[in-house]
Structure 1
């Protein structure tokens, strides 16, 4: 489930300082970072000529190490700097390079460009002329790499502090930073590669990775595999879509509670009319309400009834809108919430900080697991765990895909009994189903792609 730690700039500096206090030589750490990055650049570009752009700090020092090691492999390497090296390790790395250092503002381009100007400590954008020159050099290259972070972004929230090019690869040093996964900065990075610097890192935040799933055992049956109940409402099609996703998402049985569910629906999905008996089943592993629920008095009554059952819950769409304002306190503890941007603001207001900060604050406020959806999706728990998913198909920006995610989250909750794991699994499988569906799909295409996505993780 975890695909590498995510650290803020301050957390990364603290981790490095702890390593130095424990006896790690700062220059040795720079050599390790540069060597690991050079390996990635070598595999991508081999002997293509390279221009390494070095800044005045330790990120620039990494660049000098990379330049020296690529030169030792026979690459024609040139270094262009933006000022003199200011830290002891960077000065040592520049001396070890020993070759000429050009002025970045006048250096001609190369087939490969490596941005080692500024790392996680950047708090303001590049000057207009420097930003324009960086973009021009990147545009002239066929292969581009950014070391740790592209220059010109805020490491902690993904804001672009100045214009920046698109990089083919970004090599994260030690840990991912929030900007690797949060937009708009994430949209300027192609492949993400993380190198392990061999130092201890805190583990509260992680990138979501491919889950490890298990096939049902020989003694499994439909109820032990997880019973999902989905409550429909004014627009039954949305709940039907969620039911299809839950049925294909690994649940043993799916019940759709609806008085009116027109259209085609898998025969294995049980339809049941509204009534108290629909919720009085102790075998329910996950209860989903919200897709197509409506916002009238009948919808409110159904939400109130569902919230009082004590079943593990997934709350989506209209249920979130009905809970906005002074009803946030009515959210069942441990539920999974799946708001998009508008629903999130209606529920929790305009919280400060990055998307990670806001999701974490919301989870603590309501005592639930929050999936803050979008091009970047953040999962947070009240106890401080955070996971981030990014890079899913932008074709997911179509009607009904949120209903599919909600149904899938309910299925994984019923299967695992773990809301945080269920949320992370659902996000990854949702993205993989979209990848398999290709381009211009509709939400109805996604449930059919889920079995293959699950099979690939068994």
Structure 2
């Protein structure tokens, strides 16, 4: 990346920091011997190398703000000019920090205070990075939009200007879209949070040596899965029971995914209704749920997909919980769930936003704050791992850990996608008996399967792609 080899400097490239955590991490670096100027050089040169490669000889416009993000921009501009690229720097306001003033003084080129005609190629946004909490003023927003419209390729440094770092909120309407965003030092929550993350294009991390921050969120990583042991059998690999209800198609879809998610044996517990259309590899068990659940060989249960919300559904949920098995609770079962029903066992809850709001009411939670804080509050109240689903899915644990998933394919916005996720997580729970591992592995497999299934996927396509996704994660 640069002459200072920031890859060697980094100590933790998977963490996701708040503004306060990032400031503390930078202060720790300075206490260890770096200064603001050195960190700015490191960040600017690392980002500049990305810009140089992307520009491929095209002219570059660098838009600099008054703070240290603008200072990064001056470092980038100087590096590009030294490399022989045609560079134009635009700074609506002069530098306001000492480090930014030093960076400006080191840049030998002309600095314009307004847009200049005839530009094209690549735009680099260094107006404002993390820490911005108020909207851009009209003049600055107009300049940003004008320049974005006149450049074929757009790069944001740290964060696009006009984005709130900790929440992912867009502070102004009509902010430009970017082809590439270069995070400086560490990932920020906005890199993975809607609506801002949808505007950022590809994400790349520029390392500056930030150490691991206790309590920081993390990015969901590809799991390392292993094939069954040489002496494995179906029960040792995990028997999963899926409690069906009023709409058995959803349970069948979850089972289709679960069969491909690693469990050795999947049964649908269908009561007296049966399960028309079940494939031959899927066992359907009829009869009273309490009697079926007396089988001690169940490693995990899934309840919720197609369960219904009537008294019969509530009774089936209560019976499943009373069995005391590791469990994934999804869909209708989340709406019926009450604190008094819970048992001390490994538990994964998989709500979307609407179900999350119901759970917050049922558990006496305020529902206030950003998505990570809300998911943590529910995880601690229910003593369960929570997968808060959406285009910016995340995982929260009762121990206070948060993991954010990279933005998944928008083709996942299809009926039945959640049933596939629930079946996949439940399959991993039956295999591992570990709720945290199951949530991480299942959510990753779900996103990878969407990529493999391609555009205009159906939930059936997605379920069948779980197997190929699992193959990609095998050690």
How is 1:177-326 mapped onto 2 (pairs within 5 angstroms)? 177-203=188-214, 204-258=216-270, 259-275=272-288, 276-323=290-337
Corresponding residue to 2:447 among 431, 440, 455:
431
1:390 aligned to which of 406, 428, 437:
406
2 CA distance for matches of 1:108 and 1:335?
A: 60
CA–CA separation in structure 1 for the residues paired with 2:456 and 2:293: 37
Partner of 1:31: 41
- Cα pair 1:245 1:407 within 8 Å, conserved: yes
Shift of 1:98: 2.0
Secondary structure of the equivalent of 1:6?
strand
Deviation larger for 227-236 or 106-115 = 106-115
1:370 aligns with 2:392: no
Asked if 1:340 is matched to 2:352, the reply is yes
**Contact 1:255-1:271 at 8 Å conserved across structures:** yes
| Contact 1:82/1:117, CA 8 A, preserved across alignment | no
CA-CA distance at 1:352 after TM superposition: 1.3
Deviation sequence 1:312-360 (CA, Å, 0-9, x none): 010001110101xxx2343344410000111000110451111111111
Shift of 1:117: 0.6
Identify if the C-alpha distance between structure 1 residues 3 and 340 changes in structure 2 by more than 3 Å, giving closer, same or farther: farther
Q: Does 1:417 align with 2:430?
A: no
Structure 2 match to 1:86: 96
Residues 383-419 of structure 1, C-alpha deviations (whole Å, 9 max, x = no match): 1110111321112111111111000000111122221
- TM-score for both structures, normalised by structure 2: 0.92
Q: Deviations over 1:156-179 (max 9, x none)?
A: 101110131000000111111111
Distance 1:99 1:254 in 2: 67
- Which deviates the most, 276-285 or 403-412? 276-285
Seen in structure 2, the aligned counterparts of structure 1 residues 278 and 128 have a Cα distance that, compared at 3 Å, is same
**TM-score of the superposed pair, with normalisation by structure 1:** 0.96
SS in 1 for 2:314: helix
The question of whether the paired residues in 2 share the 8 Å contact of 1:329 and 1:366 is answered with: no
Q: What is the rounded CA distance, in whole Å, between the counterparts of 1:273 and 1:16 in structure 2?
A: 61
The number of equivalent residue pairs is 454
| Residue segments in structure 2 that go unaligned for 5+ positions in a row | 1-11
Residues 147 and 173, structure 1, Cα contact 8 Å, conserved in 2:
yes
State which drifts further: 101-110 or 24-33: 101-110
Instruction: Compare 226-235 and 390-399 and name the one that shifted more.
Output: 390-399
Range 278-287 or range 365-374, more displaced:
278-287
Go from structure 1 to structure 2 and tell me whether the alpha carbon gap of 1:356 and 1:290 turns closer, same or farther (over 3 Å shift). same
Task: Identify the residue that residue 7 of structure 2 maps to in structure 1.
Answer: none
Cα distance, 1:101 vs. partner?
0.6
Unaligned runs of 5+ in 1: none
Greater CA deviation, 255-264 or 226-235? 255-264
Are the aligned partners of 2:275 and 2:284 in contact in 1 as well (CA < 8 Å)? no
- Counterpart selection for 1:355 from 345, 360, 371: 371
> Who is 2:67 aligned against?
57
Give the match for residue 15 of structure 1. Answer: 25
* Structure 1 vs Structure 2 CA RMSD: 1.6
SS in 2 for 1:209: coil
CA contact (8 A) 1:328 1:347 kept: no
Partner Cα separation in structure 1 for residue 38 and residue 295 of structure 2: 61
Which 10-residue stretch deviates more, 205-214 or 152-161? Answer: 205-214
Q: Give me the whole-angstrom Cα distance separating, in 2, the residues matched to 1:108 and 1:80.
A: 13
| Distance of 1:135 and 1:287 partners within structure 2 | 52
For residues 380 and 141 of structure 1, what CA distance do their matches in structure 2 show? 40
Pairwise mapping of residues 399-414 of structure 1 onto structure 2 (< 5 A)? 399-414=415-430
The 3 A distance-change label for structure 1 pair 269 and 356 is: same
Aligned partner of 2:123 in structure 1 is 113
Deviation at 1:139, TM superposition (A): 1.9
- Segments of 4+ in structure 1 off by > 4 A? 105-108
- What is the rounded CA distance, in whole Å, between the counterparts of 2:261 and 2:267 in structure 1? 14
- The residue aligned with 2:3 is none
